[in-house]
Structure 1
Amino acid sequence: MTGSEDPRTGDPRGILYPARLPTFHRLPAPPELEGLIRWFWIPRWQVAPGRTSRQELLPFPASNLVVQLEAVTLSGPSSRASFRDLRGTGWAVGALLRPAAAVQLHPDLGALRDAEVPFNAPDLHSAVVQAMMPDGGASSRAHAASVFSRWVAGRLASPDEAGRLANAMEEAIAADRQITRVEQVAAQLSTSARGIQRLARSHVGLPPLAIIRRYRLQEAAQRLRADPAVRIADVAAELGYADQAHLSRDFRTVLGLTPRDYRQDGGRDGSQDGDRDGP
């Protein structure tokens, strides 16, 4: 199943320039793991010798466990936009971790912020590499996600009470674009703002306000990309910003460019050859 066919993987946020992606698929986690894995993401690329394909992202405020041919790595939450330069031929199989899973894989997610570290999981690496090596096609991707799922089910516990609350915090922020303050999240979850702050730092590795702003910025970028006619001031109002200047300031701080510049740059996307499903 491809991401474009399943509502659980159809979220368009996070990819700044979709038309520049290599072959890219998202596959849903099995229902029994939805409290641990948001989805699996699988890019595959073939870049001409001597050339580089730069993939620019505004990552979800979360950690990722990633298997590539060379190794397994754990990437912590990002505080800013990021990029990855692709060269040659390759693939990756990543799991976007829910807060209840991330906290089980690293003792201090705050220390993992903006970092990618080796993760010792030789059995996971061997199983995913064997699944992907035949051709990287649909059957290989499905097999890789399946063996990854089995590893997660055998390694990680079901979310405990704190994990369930952390997942609910993330879901509330992701789903409700009217949330702009920590106190709103606390009210929805019937807890205190201080409790939300502790939960965000322990299970995500970012302050809760940074999580809120990341989702709102992702939504702003998606709106500007999808609707060339929409006014930037209207996007700012829709997402709870006091005015266009505040949105522009956040854009410039995190992405390094203004909303206007992003819209103009995004309009010059160039598609690559090969099949590509919605990210």
Structure 2
Amino acid sequence: MVDPTRGVLYPGRLPLLHRLPADEEARDLIAWFWVPEWDLEPGIVSRQHVVGYPALNLVVEPEGVTLSGATSIATHRDLEGRGWAVGALLRPAAVRTLTEAPAELVDREIALAAPELHTAVVAAMTTDPERHRRATRVVADWLRLRSGPITDAARQANAMVDALVGEDAARSPEEAASRLAVSVRTLQRLAHRYVGVAPAAMIRRRRLQDAADRLRADPRQDLAALAAELGYADHAHLSRDFTAVLGIAPSAYRVVPAGRSGVRES
């Protein structure tokens, strides 16, 4: 099951958002699809805050196609008017097809020249009653055709991400390397080559997503106990990480109202 709110700091402020799993043939390339749609009144801006997964995203919007790198801090985007996007959270096996240097895309996005992909997705999102399924199928087919056969190295990179941020993920790079029967240095090279950020940074991002999810679910959560459960040395370590990446202390985040809101521009 794809969690529709994981990584979203204030789910109550979301526009209509769909998260869809990739079909069987595309699961080595795409973790899942995310498809937001919005239609806001004039003068209303909806600010969306996200602590992103340590991964790259392929995004198709009415304006064009972009490739977004992994992020080092929480990010936001202001939505206004009417619009949509079709995004694919990429598995490492898809990354080398689109860029040779994912580390250069950290906290950045670049435009991709993919007119046939853009035209087909826009057509699906504009005219098809089953627009989400049709649009995501277009993206999956395009990416499969562009990627070709999955190499052993790419499968190993996928396994690396699973070990670092998947279900029952490792608590340290050393543990992840042991699970994969590789050296820590090999793990670091895989992460740099296919994601662009270090294994330790990927683990920290997973912990912060877990912390934010837990605090939203139970604002009365004891922070010292939460820190211990997530593998932090202590409460202070969790608070420093949370504040550095999300820009807000965990004690403050858990009392911020989660209801839908907009910011009216002056």
TM-score range (shorter-chain normalised) is: over 0.9
- Equivalent of residue 67 in structure 1, options 43, 53, 60: 60
Give, in whole Å, the separation in 2 of the partners of 1:124 and 1:60: 24
2:219/2:255 contact within 8 Å kept: no
Does residue 1:215 correspond to 2:231, yes or no?
no
Give, in whole Å, the separation in 2 of the partners of 1:183 and 1:176: 17
Q: Name which of structure 1's ranges 168-177 and 57-66 shifts more when overlaid on structure 2.
A: 168-177
Output the amino acid matched with 1:146: R
Instruction: Find the counterpart in structure 2 of residue 180 from structure 1.
Output: 171
Instruction: Find the counterpart in structure 1 of residue 75 from structure 2.
Output: 82
* CA deviation after TM superposition for structure 1 residue 134, in Å: 2.5
Output the amino acid matched with 1:120: A
Give, in whole Å, the separation in 2 of the partners of 1:150 and 1:176: 27
Question: Secondary structure at the residue paired with 2:88?
Answer: strand
1:177/1:240 contact within 8 Å kept: no
* CA deviation after TM superposition for structure 1 residue 13, in Å: 2.1
Instruction: Find the counterpart in structure 1 of residue 101 from structure 2.
Output: 108
Instruction: Find the counterpart in structure 2 of residue 246 from structure 1.
Output: 237
Give, in whole Å, the separation in 2 of the partners of 1:57 and 1:158: 33
Output the amino acid matched with 1:52: V
RMSD (Å), alpha carbons: 1.6
Instruction: Find the counterpart in structure 2 of residue 269 from structure 1.
Output: 258
Output the amino acid matched with 2:113: N
2:215/2:254 contact within 8 Å kept: yes
1:76/1:113 contact within 8 Å kept: yes
* CA deviation after TM superposition for structure 1 residue 142, in Å: 1.1
Output the amino acid matched with 1:263: R
Give, in whole Å, the separation in 2 of the partners of 1:53 and 1:12: 16
Does residue 1:43 correspond to 2:36, yes or no?
yes
2:157/2:194 contact within 8 Å kept: yes
1:46/1:90 contact within 8 Å kept: yes
- Unaligned residue ranges in structure 2 (runs of 5+): none
Output the amino acid matched with 1:227: D
Q: Name which of structure 1's ranges 178-187 and 161-170 shifts more when overlaid on structure 2.
A: 178-187
Question: Secondary structure at the residue paired with 1:56?
Answer: strand
Does residue 1:125 correspond to 2:114, yes or no?
no
* CA deviation after TM superposition for structure 1 residue 51, in Å: 1.8
Instruction: Find the counterpart in structure 2 of residue 52 from structure 1.
Output: 45
Give, in whole Å, the separation in 1 of the partners of 2:172 and 2:109: 29
Give, in whole Å, the separation in 1 of the partners of 2:201 and 2:32: 22
In the TM superposition, what whole-angstrom CA distance separates every residue of 1:191-247 from its partner, at most 9, and x where no partner exists? 000000000000000011111100111111101111123211111111111111000
Instruction: Assess, with a 3 A threshold, how the Cα gap between structure 1 residues 158 and 218 changes in structure 2: closer, same or farther.
Output: farther
Instruction: Assess, with a 3 A threshold, how the Cα gap between structure 1 residues 217 and 177 changes in structure 2: closer, same or farther.
Output: farther
1:15/1:56 contact within 8 Å kept: yes
1:177/1:239 contact within 8 Å kept: no
Identity of aligned residues (%): 50
Instruction: Assess, with a 3 A threshold, how the Cα gap between structure 1 residues 178 and 123 changes in structure 2: closer, same or farther.
Output: closer
Instruction: Find the counterpart in structure 2 of residue 163 from structure 1.
Output: 154
Give, in whole Å, the separation in 1 of the partners of 2:64 and 2:119: 10
2:22/2:31 contact within 8 Å kept: yes
Instruction: Find the counterpart in structure 2 of residue 233 from structure 1.
Output: 224
Output the amino acid matched with 2:58: L
* CA deviation after TM superposition for structure 1 residue 155, in Å: 1.1
Q: Name which of structure 1's ranges 121-130 and 147-156 shifts more when overlaid on structure 2.
A: 147-156
Normalization by structure 1: what TM-score? 0.90
Question: Secondary structure at the residue paired with 2:67?
Answer: strand
Instruction: Find the counterpart in structure 2 of residue 206 from structure 1.
Output: 197
Give, in whole Å, the separation in 1 of the partners of 2:73 and 2:261: 26
* CA deviation after TM superposition for structure 1 residue 107, in Å: 1.0
Corresponding residue pairs, total: 262
Instruction: Assess, with a 3 A threshold, how the Cα gap between structure 1 residues 177 and 80 changes in structure 2: closer, same or farther.
Output: farther
Normalization by structure 2: what TM-score? 0.94
* CA deviation after TM superposition for structure 1 residue 269, in Å: 1.9
1:178/1:239 contact within 8 Å kept: no
2:12/2:260 contact within 8 Å kept: yes
Output the amino acid matched with 2:80: R
